[in-house]
Amino acid sequence: MQGQMLMRTDPFREFDRMAQQLLGSAGVRGTWSRPALMPMDAYRSGDEYVISFDLPGVTPDAIELEVERNVLTVKAERRPAEVPETVEMQVSERPLGVFSRQLFLGETLQSDKIQAHYDAGVLTLRIPIAEQAKPRRIEVTGAGSQQQLSA
C-alpha cells in the first residue's frame, strides 16, 4: 500500500520523448502545443514524501502549484532571456515556454499541508503522510500473557 500513496501519471510520456528526440528538446519554437515534461525524483523520507523537480532557468514567480481532488499540478514557465535587437542569435537550443506535470496523491497524504521550496533551479515539495496511514503497534493480549505485534 505504501507504493500507492504517490502515483505518477503521464500516459503520453513515451510519445513526448520520441517527439522531442525527432524535433529537438522543445520541438519547433512556438508550435509545440503540449507542455514539455519536467524531470522529477520522488522518495519517502520518514513521515513525508519528498518530490524534486528540475526547473533550471525558471524564476520562482513563474511557478504555479495547484491541488484539486488529490491531483497535484506543477506548472512552470521558462521565459526568453532579454537579448538586444541588434544581436543575431547563433544557437537557440534551450527550451522555452510552459512545463507541466501532474501527480495523483493518494488519500493517505495531507495535500493541504504541502511545503514548497525553490533553490538553484530545483523545486522541492514535502508532502506529509496522514496520521491514520502511519504504521502503529497493536497490543495483543491472551490468557495470562501479553504479546505485541506490528500492524
> 52-76: per-residue pLDDT in tens?
999 998 999 999 999 998 899 999 9
Task: Provide the grid cell at 40.
Answer: 522529477
Q: Please count the structural domains in the chain.
A: 1
More confident residue, 37 or 99: 99
pLDDT at 136 over 50: yes
The CATH number linked to 132 is 2.60.40.790
Q: Look up the domain containing 108 and give its range.
A: 2-150
Mean pLDDT of the chain: 79
Per the rule left: phi > 0, alpha: psi between -120 and 50, beta: everything else, 63 is: beta
**Mean pLDDT (whole number) for 118-136:** 87
- What is the dihedral angle through the alpha carbons of 131, 135, 141, 142, rounded to the nearest 10 degrees? 140
What's the chain's length in residues? 151
pTM over 0.85: no
pLDDT at 151 over 90: no
Pairing type for strands 63-68 and 71-78 reads antiparallel
Other Cβ atoms within 10 Å of 72 Cβ, number: 20
